[in-house]
Structure 1
């Protein structure tokens, strides 16, 4: 496989592939496709551009390494270009004229990722990059790259346990490091080699790195960790088994900082090892979705934001499962079943089915349905209620987990349960999750002897944190938070007319602002948190939020169909599937369009979302399901109002984005679309 990872068909020397990185990536995707390594080209280009939108791939030395894993790729491939016109890839030292497109199959094994990681590691070597710049032929480039990816790995003897545990030599600081990037293909290994090569040039430091990439993870020897004076976490994702480093001074940043500023990071780690007040590792990794700010450690605000998003992401499955089960309960048992579901589910069985009349709390109650449908509806509803009963506790527990690791889970869940008991709802869950996370993190930073340290994460931290959170909630915070929650519910219940429409506009704008980001998730949390109450105002908010979130993917899909010439081939390809994502209420289906052209796409989507939200609230539409889009139509009432609101928003967004692109054109996208059209005509 490694012999054919690159060939002369995949090399472009001194070529002009475009004026910006979007054009260069798209051109290289075409090179890979023309070589028979990917199909369709639009999918590969879209996947690579989507990865680029997350964070720039420019690295020191005028090099860029756009990369992705894609369903379009048939075998691991490297597309190479030495550009005659350098292009900005967000590198720390200016434009890049050496570009590798690293294309990996989406479902491939780990062997090809090892090969790609070898290339990434070689790119931090000056001799290799100089050879790429001085090469006179495509064959020479192929030989250089093939030699690198075929080279046997250098085996560096790991320190023996006794050696690792030995005290450091005078003036020498022992450091362990973790590097990890979201895709685990390139930056992970470049950061590791950048730190390692920098450390090897110094006499005052010994450094060992664990790469948590896609190709393999070889854990650090526990003795090496034990002997370390400080830790460097250079990651854009969570650190696996973070608790191994508990108590060690830590320097934390995004993965690219280790590539760009290895000297500074090592200096900071040495300083931290000598500072008794330095920040220390408290517990397990932050959630996998966390992205550390590059160039500095995690700020308090950033950490809170990431923690809340983690809590929401873990809560959503409870909401989705519980809400859809509630909706199915209504579908089978009828809406009046909600008044007696508990008595029906617990008082009857498959061999003793209920009739139309059932005793509920000592009084007879007549239901529209009877027999198996009523019973199974009640069972589904009861199961859904059980799942919904966990949402506040899950929100609180996983916020605390994101902040303090596993020791934060128990006190977070306890705090969430107390919030429900006191009527503080999801607002209380947010507060208790943050409190539990901060307190558990603080207690975890205490310096204790070895015997007590082994009990800290399992007993002491959960016990003390749960105690403190419980006392704070019952003695100080519970009643004020309950008052806030009650006031919010009363306000929602009293909404009508213009006030409801204004709220619908706000929610619609939020759902379409960042298409799955923090603002979108905040609106969704607001809607789902009130769903378990069952009051009409909460159901209306849920309907408005779901409909508004469906608008962007459907509108972009429709726009690419109506005016293809305004969109790139990659966007046209995305448009073929975006409508289905929209119908399923997956707002993220519009992200590739927004990433490529945010100033035209995002305002257009927000206009449509606001229209849909306003009309949904105006028509008094309610949804008993928190997710599912058009496929949970049976849980939406009145359905006609919801469909009218959805269609109106789609129409507004579609017209707006076409007008923006028509009268305020994006020259890059226009040129790319025109080029593709000319190629079709020529063919």
Structure 2
């Protein structure tokens, strides 16, 4: 079977490439030919027209909207998440083989393509899955702005103190010889990057729903959400609204003479007007009130409520190790950074600390009790140290894929503990990423390190105990590796 595949995750870093590698290995084992396009942050070589044309089936392993989906019209198509591809790529390829054998739509789909009437097929996925993909697309394009802006703001506070926000505009006063001016410059650049968060989120949610004509309505709707004080919540609503409006307008039949100007003039114009009116006149005030209530609730959290919230967010971070649930918790924390409240800064610290726990805990367990882990898992432990220290939770995926029932609950327990302790200690963090490398920017670094270390200890002990409960696990693993060595020698 000839297969073409596309993999894409919200951050475009780890899951995207791990899913591609898993699909390639599974295809080799099945005797299939496969070409994979990784739509990740590092870029990739797009599938060639010939590869798509000759493919028997298409596999999409994505948690976000796939770019260029219209290329696959007329081909049997199977969809899954990147987590499914990482954990069970063979199952996705088995489903692909069944789809290729059962496909009866090629003729009509190819005819529609030749007539120019075909659109990307969304019928293969449910409404909930499409909604998640739209939202994760917006989040994936927003994250670089979060990282750049947040780290620059955090650096400015480290260099110039918390009053650096009161510094004069650098266009009016900038002295290259003073550290304060550089701190003010970093703060103002970072603040400018943060100003794009909501418009970018809204714009690319709309883009995922209705392609390029929805970009302008989405961006304008996001900017309107900021203007009326609706924040991230308003941005999400504006993006979904823009995508729905433009998607609806695309289905309105128009004379052939107007078809050429629809995507570049009519759709952006009408979509922007409709979304702008709705956000400023109809939805702005209610969304602003709701956002204010949410902010007040966060600011009012204290004691047991704050600890429970930290435990909940920490557990979410570890529940799918970088997947959609993880991104929901992370996006919630990042959204709070724009308010600047102490509680929001504590939430950001809790989320990042919890995200560091799984890779560090599994690397620790695989080092201390190596006999409980396979050779491949022990090899994965080495990069997991650096990934965990860098707040890249995906470093735990190889362990979770091999033994999810023991690994994931153990990691959830440890991460929830770190999140709860971080909130209990009142640790704050202004940087949205960086892990160990931004500890100098943490408010209360000693207590923060203690919270992370205790979470790692709990997770490592729990996963070790869970694996030890399997009768003869160490002997079985050792026996398997000895057999592999004997076979290799022979």
TM-score by length of 2: 0.82
Partners of 1:54 and 1:483 in 2: CA distance = 46
| 1:462 correspondence with 2:294 | no
How far 1:298 moved relative to its partner?
2.1
1:350 corresponds to which residue? 175
| 1:374 correspondence with 2:374 | no
| 1:327 correspondence with 2:154 | yes
How far 1:280 moved relative to its partner?
4.9
1:505 corresponds to which residue? 311
How far 1:451 moved relative to its partner?
2.3
Partners of 1:182 and 1:220 in 2: CA distance = 11
| 1:389 correspondence with 2:216 | no
Contact 2:153–2:190 (Cα < 8 Å) also in 1:
yes
Contact 1:404–1:441 (Cα < 8 Å) also in 2:
yes
Matches within 5 A, 1:460-499: 460-499=266-305
Partners of 2:235 and 2:22 in 1: CA distance = 30
Distance 1:236 1:576, change over 3 A: closer
Distance 1:498 1:471, change over 3 A: same
Distance 1:475 1:640, change over 3 A: same
TM-score by length of 1: 0.60
1:676 corresponds to which residue? 481
| 1:602 correspondence with 2:396 | no
How far 1:555 moved relative to its partner?
0.2
Partners of 1:622 and 1:479 in 2: CA distance = 31
Matches within 5 A, 1:540-555: 540-555=346-361
Q: Secondary structure at the match of 2:164?
A: helix
Partners of 2:96 and 2:310 in 1: CA distance = 45
Distance 1:280 1:432, change over 3 A: farther
| 1:261 correspondence with 2:261 | no
Distance 1:300 1:640, change over 3 A: same
2:12 corresponds to which residue? none
Matches within 5 A, 1:208-357: 216-218=48-50, 235-236=60-61, 241=68, 253-254=78-79, 259-262=97-100, 264-267=102-105, 270=108, 280-281=118-119, 297-338=124-165, 340-341=166-167, 343-350=168-175
1:445 corresponds to which residue? 251
Q: Which of 468, 471, 481 is equivalent to 1:662?
A: 468
| More relative contact order, 1 or 2 (CA 8 Å, 6+ apart) | 2
Larger radius of gyration: 1
Partners of 2:249 and 2:156 in 1: CA distance = 45
Contact 2:428–2:444 (Cα < 8 Å) also in 1:
yes
RMSD of aligned Cα (Å) = 3.4
| 1:626 correspondence with 2:432 | yes
How far 1:181 moved relative to its partner?
4.8
Matches within 5 A, 1:84-95: none
Deviations 1:69-116 (A, max 9, x none): xxxxxxxxx7x7xxxxxxxxxxxxxxxxxx44xxxxxxxxxxxxxxxx
| 1:120 correspondence with 2:33 | yes
Partners of 1:213 and 1:417 in 2: CA distance = 34
How far 1:476 moved relative to its partner?
2.3
Distance 1:448 1:218, change over 3 A: farther
Q: Secondary structure at the match of 1:633?
A: helix
Deviations 1:372-420 (A, max 9, x none): 1111100000000000010111111111111111112111111111111
1:66 corresponds to which residue? 26
Partners of 1:316 and 1:183 in 2: CA distance = 18
1:6 corresponds to which residue? none
How far 1:522 moved relative to its partner?
0.2
Contact 1:252–1:298 (Cα < 8 Å) also in 2:
no
2:10 corresponds to which residue? none
Distance 1:481 1:666, change over 3 A: farther
Q: Secondary structure at the match of 2:353?
A: helix
1:416 corresponds to which residue? 222
Q: Secondary structure at the match of 2:433?
A: coil
Distance 1:575 1:495, change over 3 A: same
How far 1:666 moved relative to its partner?
9.2
| 1:526 correspondence with 2:486 | no
Distance 1:451 1:512, change over 3 A: same
